[in-house]
Amino acid sequence: MRFLLRLASLVALAAAVIAGTIDSIQSVAASSVVMTPISDAWQDVSPTTLTSLQSSLSYYIHPRFYTFIFQWLMLQPAFAVFLVIALLLWMIGYKKPPVAGRFTA
């Protein structure tokens, strides 16, 4: 299970680096800071999953959750959202080192 969490953390970190690289290239080209929201990035990659997630969240979970939390999250920069997801997954899958040390019996 730890392996899967670490792998998912690596994938999220790679997505964050890709999103950050795209934002930095667009910022240099526009001569101003450009940060792509996660909703725009998701819309570019897979628009059908975004609309299905929005409709299922507003139907199965309370509509206020959709209006407050989900819409706020969709306005955040894509690289920051992926970095937070990568950090959380890594923290869940982290293995604590043994207390006694490396070479104990």
User: Rounded to whole angstroms, how far apart are CA atoms 31 and 82?
Assistant: 25
- Between 5 and 103, name the one with better pLDDT: 5
pLDDT in tens, 31-89: 999 999 998 998 888 989 988 988 888 788 877 777 788 888 889 999 999 999 999 99
pTM of the model as a whole: 0.79
Write down the pLDDT at residue 30: 92
Is 54 exposed, middle or buried, given 0-12, 13-18 or 19+ CB atoms closer than 10 A? middle
CA angle 22, 69, 72 (to 5 degrees): 40
